[in-house]
């Protein structure tokens, strides 16, 4: 997929598939109790969107950029002060943070799901779309928990700066003083240890892998039904597997594949390298990935019972 990784958690590319900014909330959060029937219906609709649009990568990126704002040092504050998977990414200013470029269109793709099942929170819809995107691309089934409560206003958005950089800025440092706490560091590895998911703000407008030509799906078939553009980490970017861990550290791979400093450091840092090497085995990667995805999807969330 158009994905990168940090520690055992893979993170989504900055493919510029969607660009329209959101300047106002879409639909208000619902106070209705969610039922299992609502969740089943929402999942069916999401599966249909994924099958038609092949938009799993941008749904994963949307969910992770919503949850990845979580600051564990604020977890003892009144919810939702610590950010996280609370659906706040749908609001301006958060949707217009630099790291979230292109994600407004992903929210619009999921808006019909909210309209059909208003009892399902945006936070649940975003995380469900991510998990289903992974599963339908051939990845592991994620043991998801639902019943998340939504943030209700722009005032509950996290400040800009909680998501990390893939490359150093003009002064040679990753991150900056913004956000709820500084993530600034001259080392990519130590910068990654401060935030959670990785995002990328550069890359080619399109490559031979993303120019609208046929690309492989998880079942072995090919499709041209995707939004062209962006730079992938791996050739078969609509298939979820462990090829990231066999590609990034291989100097002979195609020059159009993305290899960020924040990717390469996983094989260079003593703490990360054992995992990067371990995940050359797909079974080991899937086992760890499923646990990491579930944990990330619940960061900062407040849950109400599913009826």
- Record the tokens describing residue 149, joined without a space: 């409560």
Whether residue 122 contacts residue 46, with contact meaning beta carbons closer than 8 Å, is answered with no
* Residues contacting 287, CB < 8 A, separation 6+: 140
Asked if residue 20 has pLDDT above 60, the reply is: no
Identify the pLDDT of residue 204. Answer: 85
Identify the pLDDT of residue 8. Answer: 33
Whether residue 279 contacts residue 121, with contact meaning beta carbons closer than 8 Å, is answered with no
d(CA 18, CA 229): 10
Asked if residue 192 has pLDDT above 70, the reply is: no
DSSP 88: G
Asked if residue 13 has pLDDT above 50, the reply is: no
- Record the tokens describing residue 184, joined without a space: 């600034």
pLDDT tens-digit map of 262-284: 888 899 999 999 999 999 999 99
Asked if residue 119 has pLDDT above 90, the reply is: yes
* Residues contacting 273, CB < 8 A, separation 6+: 266, 267
Mean pLDDT of 82-107: 95
Identify the pLDDT of residue 99. Answer: 87
pLDDT tens-digit map of 233-244: 999 999 999 999
Residue 224: count of CB within 10 angstroms of its CB: 10
Asked if residue 15 has pLDDT above 80, the reply is: no
Say if residue 48 is preceded by a cis peptide, omega within 30 of 0.
no
Asked if residue 87 has pLDDT above 60, the reply is: yes
Q: Could you tell me how many helices (H) and strands (E) the chain has, helices first?
A: 9, 4
Mean pLDDT of 198-203: 50
**Catalytic (active site) residue 65:** yes
- Rounded to 10°, the helix 122-136/282-297 angle is 170
pLDDT tens-digit map of 130-157: 999 999 999 999 999 999 999 999 999 9
Q: Where are the domains of the chain?
A: 3-158+289-297
Identify the pLDDT of residue 166. Answer: 47
Residue 153: count of CB within 10 angstroms of its CB: 11
Say if residue 93 is preceded by a cis peptide, omega within 30 of 0.
yes
Average pLDDT of the chain is: 83
> 3-158+289-297: which CATH topology?
Peroxidase; domain 1 (1.10.520)
DSSP 6: E
Identify the pLDDT of residue 108. Answer: 98
Catalytic residue among 65, 70, 97, 191: 65
Q: What is the pLDDT confidence band of residue 187, given thresholds at 50, 70 and 90?
A: low
Give the lowest-confidence range in 83-97, 103-117, 180-194.
180-194
pLDDT tens-digit map of 31-65: 458 999 999 999 999 999 999 999 999 999 999 99
Asked if residue 185 has pLDDT above 80, the reply is: no
Most confident of 15-19, 198-202, 301-305: 301-305
* Residues contacting 191, CB < 8 A, separation 6+: 164, 165, 174, 175, 183, 184, 185, 262
| Residue among 149, 105, 162, 106 nearest 129 (CA) | 106
Asked if residue 9 has pLDDT above 60, the reply is: no
| Residue among 166, 34, 26 nearest 103 (CA) | 26
**What's the pTM value of the predicted model, to 2 decimals?**
0.82
Asked if residue 289 has pLDDT above 80, the reply is: yes
| Residue among 303, 297, 13 nearest 129 (CA) | 297
d(CA 91, CA 117): 20
Q: pLDDT exceeding 70 applies to what percent of the chain?
A: 76
């Amino acid at each position: 997929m158009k994905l990168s990784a940090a520690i055992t958690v893979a993170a989504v590319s900055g493919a510029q598939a969607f660009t329209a900014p959101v300047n106002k909330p879409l639909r208000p959060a619902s106070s209705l109790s969610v039922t299992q029937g609502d969740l089943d219906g929402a999942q069916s609709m999401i599966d249909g969107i994924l099958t038609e649009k092949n938009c799993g990568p941008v749904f994963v990126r949307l969910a992770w950029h919503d949850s990845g704002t979580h600051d564990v040092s604020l977890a003892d504050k009144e919810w939702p002060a610590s950010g996280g998977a609370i659906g706040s990414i749908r609001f301006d200013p958060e949707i217009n943070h630099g790291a979230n470029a292109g994600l407004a269109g992903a929210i619009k793709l999921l808006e019909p799901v909210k309209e059909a099942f208003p009892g399902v929170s945006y936070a649940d819809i975003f995380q469900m779309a991510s998990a289903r995107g992974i599963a339908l691309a051939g990845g592991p089934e994620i043991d998801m928990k639902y019943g998340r409560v939504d943030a209700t206003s722009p005032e509950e958005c996290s400040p800009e700066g909680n998501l990390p950089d893939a490359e150093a800025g003009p002064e040679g440092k990753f991150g900056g003083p913004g956000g709820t706490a500084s993530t600034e560091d001259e080392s990519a590895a130590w910068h990654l240890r401060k935030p959670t998911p990785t995002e990328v703000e550069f890359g080619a407008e399109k490559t031979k892998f993303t120019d609208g030509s046929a690309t492989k799906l998880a079942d072995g078939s090919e499709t041209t039904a995707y939004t062209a553009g962006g730079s992938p980490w791996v050739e078969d970017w609509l298939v979820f597997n462990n090829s990231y861990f066999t590609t990034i550290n291989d100097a002979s791979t195609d020059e159009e594949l993305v290899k960020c400093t924040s990717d390469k450091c996983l094989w260079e840092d003593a703490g990360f390298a054992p995992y990067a090497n371990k995940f050359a085995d797909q079974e080991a990667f899937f086992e760890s990935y499923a646990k990491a995805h579930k944990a990330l999807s619940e960061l900062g969330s407040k849950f109400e019972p599913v009826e």
